[in-house]
Structure 1
Amino acid sequence: MDSPRALAADPRDGYLFWSDWEQAAPRIERASLAGRARRVLVRADVLGDGAWPNGISLDYRARRVYWVDARSDSIHCADYEGADHRVVLRAHPALAHPFAVVVFEAHVYWTDWRSNSVLRADKWRGANVTVVQRTLTQPFDVKVLHARRQPAAARNPCAANGGCSHLCLIHSPAERHCACPHLMRLRPDGATCEPHEKVLLIARAGEIRGVDLDAPLEHVPMQIRLECQTIVRS
């Protein structure tokens, strides 16, 4: 990942979606919530003049991913596999510089930095563009809080924490992978974490990286503890 911008998740299918501004390959990507099976769904630069995929949102009922592009000033959608791409709205006076987006029922909502407003339109045809709210400054994110925006899976592989001692990550509707906090690692049983603090520390400008001597190709996130000593002088 070069310049990730926004993300959205569907826990029913165990999917994580995100947009990336990388200049050489601006795109929408998908992986499982366990960080596996990563793939590119859509290349924004092959959809015309789009190259700044900004906000991203999911239509849970239709299983479609929506995103706004701040370079072509447009709203797009595709299915969860990246197919059936559609341009919802483009070249509209109210769509001048979209930043964030959210889908709810029959509408798509977005924030616009040039008009300082929150707007909405029909999520399929982009019709009936309406200003929902004017703002004094550039609006950043926008969310819809409703039970229908909180989908529940029929079966959750991480129910009862999936048998994991610490972190349970959904990989698919029927699969889960256990993970561990910093300075811990999985035991051979694949479910239990144990302390693991014997790592090689490598420091460079702005970064301290840990290397597992048993698995040197795996990055070990480090928690650096800074201790301060107070000296009281009379």
Structure 2
Amino acid sequence: QLFWSDWGARPKIERSNLLGGDRQIILDKVVAKPQGLTIDYSNDRLYWTDAHKCTIESANLDGSGHSVLHVVEDSTLFGIALYGNYMFVTDKKYGRLEVYTEKVKIKAFTLGGEPWDILMYDNSSQPGMSNLCADKNCEQLCVYDTVAKDAACLCGEGYVKEDAESKSCKPSQKFVHPSHFYAIGDSICHYPANMA
């Protein structure tokens, strides 16, 4: 599954399958500005920081079982990562990395600058499994299709599949390359985004 947060006009946390289907809002009424997300795969729990509420929170992967773990007054919490029973959280306002358990704050490290996100790499959080994409020979992207219980070939931005069963991609005729648009007088102008 793929999880993401939206902290726009209607804040929420959503999920979908890796193909983008089965999209669901799993949390909306309890979030204000959800930012960093991380998953505890061994317990099927989602953890996040909420910068508006100054909180560290968690819920089951379907949004049930919501709980506020910590309220961290006068902070700008952003990134979050898990390792064992520890939560590592970045505080942009004070340039810190803070370490928590579900019950207490353990330690704070001053990093300086504005630490945004944090990632944790650990073999125990990467369970081994057979790679269905190894023999698929997809030209661009390969993801697991939870409906078909098989690997599926996809194309990147600006490309489409040759046909429904194809593993090859071709440039899309409808793709608009990323550009900066601006108006001068009665003209609309643009230049490529990579020229900014």
- TM-score w.r.t. the length of structure 2 is 0.79
Aligned to 2:18: 33
Cα distance, 1:142 vs structure 2: 1.5
For 2:105 and 2:175, the matched residues in 1 are separated by 55
Cα distance, 1:170 vs structure 2: 1.8
Work out which of the residue numbers 48, 61, 68 in structure 2 matches 1:67.
48
Q: Which runs of 4+ in 1 moved over 6 A?
A: 201-205
Q: Give the structure with higher Rg (CA).
A: 1
Aligned to 2:146: 172
Query: How many aligned residue pairs are there?
Result: 182
Aligned to 1:193: 168
Residues 86 and 195 of structure 1: is their aligned pair in 2 closer, same or farther, counting only changes over 3 Å?
Answer: same
Residues 102-154 of structure 1: CA deviation (Å, up to 9, x unaligned) = 111111110112332111211xxx323022411222222122222123233x3
Which ranges of structure 1 fall in alignment gaps of 5 or more residues? 1-14, 208-223, 227-234
Q: Quick check: 1:206 aligned with 2:180? A: yes
Residues 73 and 204 of structure 1: is their aligned pair in 2 closer, same or farther, counting only changes over 3 Å?
Answer: closer
- TM-score w.r.t. the length of structure 1 is 0.67
Counterpart residue type for residue 68 of structure 1: T
Which ranges of structure 2 fall in alignment gaps of 5 or more residues? 182-191
**Which moves more between the two structures, 167-176 or 127-136?**
167-176
Q: Quick check: 1:112 aligned with 2:97? A: no
Aligned to 1:57: 38
Aligned pairs (5 A) from 1:67-146: 67-90=48-71, 92-93=72-73, 96-122=75-101, 126-146=102-122
Structure with bigger RCO (C-alpha 8 Å, 6+ apart): 1
